[in-house]
Copies of this chain bind each other. A is one copy, B any other.
Amino acid sequence: MTKDRITSILEGYKAGALDLPSALDAFKGFPTTELGYASLDTQRELRVGFPEVVYCAGKSPAQVRGIVDALLDKGCAILATRADEGHFAAVGDLEGKLVLDRVSRTIRSRRDPEAGSERRLVAVVTAGTSDIPVAEEAAVTAEACGARVDRVFDVGVAGLHRLLGRIDGIRRARVVVAVAGMEGALASVLGGLVSAPVIAVPTSVGYGASFGGLAALLAMLNGCAAGVSVVNIDNGFGAGYQAAIIARDR
């Protein structure tokens, strides 16, 4: 609730346009759109700068469709992550308005190609081929939030020259997203090579003692290079979102 909103309520009450019950009521909460099973924050874009994002996992296709309809209805941009085939099917008839992306598992508003400025460049780097879906979730999210994305895939530290061969490009970015499973060393090595902030995304790629990404997560948290912070395992969305916030013009 903004200062302006409070001022306006106060003024309305003073002027008699609002009676006491209405004024009290106005303080109860921010406007939300209630769907029963979901309470949509349709003013999130206004409040924190980016639209409400729909996390599809654990929601039924019908629920996702309902939410998408409600958001479209309010004129909100759409970004839905972790969509599966059921969710894609539920919005299939909206493909004119929406992009259904099976690599990054996202559903998003179809917009005119308006590339983010060079000043908002985000590099999304992966250690291996298997990390690409998580990296794409990050990249697509960052793009949806206005960033420009440079993708650098399969440059893990086991063949260090691959990374060194592309480091100049990576250094041009305002923020670097490092996506890696297994031992996650990419984040530390990148942290030592660039001066931009690095957001590390551990992935669940691996087996045995990777424990579903735990090994990479712990490694990234303990990285000896400064300038690195970490998001949840496989959380491409979170990394892309924060990268876009950091890269945005002020």
Query: Measuring CB to CB, which residues of chain A are less than 8 angstroms from any residue of chain B?
Result: 1, 3, 6-7, 10, 13-14, 20, 23-24, 27-30, 32, 36-39, 41, 44, 47-50, 53, 55, 57-59, 63, 119, 127-130, 132, 153-162, 164-166, 168, 174, 182-185, 188-189, 191-197, 199, 202, 204-235, 237-239, 241-242, 245-246, 250
B185, B196, B197, B232: the one contacting A188 at CB < 8 Å is B185
CA distance A207 to B177 in the complex (A): 20
Question: What are the residues of chain B within 8 A of A216 when measuring CB–CB?
Answer: 219, 222
Question: What are the residues of chain B within 8 A of A156 when measuring CB–CB?
Answer: 224
Question: What are the residues of chain B within 8 A of A44 when measuring CB–CB?
Answer: 159
The answer to whether A183 touches B220, judged by C-beta atoms less than 8 angstroms apart, is yes
The answer to whether B27 touches A6, judged by C-beta atoms less than 8 angstroms apart, is yes
CA distance A50 to B132 in the complex (A): 26
Residue of B nearest to A36 (CB): B153
A to B CB contacts below 8 Å, 29 in the list: A10-B23, A28-B164, A29-B165, A32-B162, A32-B165, A37-B129, A38-B129, A39-B153, A58-B205, A157-B188, A183-B184, A183-B220, A183-B221, A184-B219, A185-B189, A207-B234, A208-B212, A208-B232, A209-B221, A209-B222, A209-B232, A218-B219, A226-B238, A227-B242, A228-B231, A228-B238, A229-B229, A229-B230, A229-B238
Copies of this chain, how many? 8
Question: What are the residues of chain B within 8 A of A1 when measuring CB–CB?
Answer: 161
Question: What are the residues of chain B within 8 A of A30 when measuring CB–CB?
Answer: 159, 161-162, 165
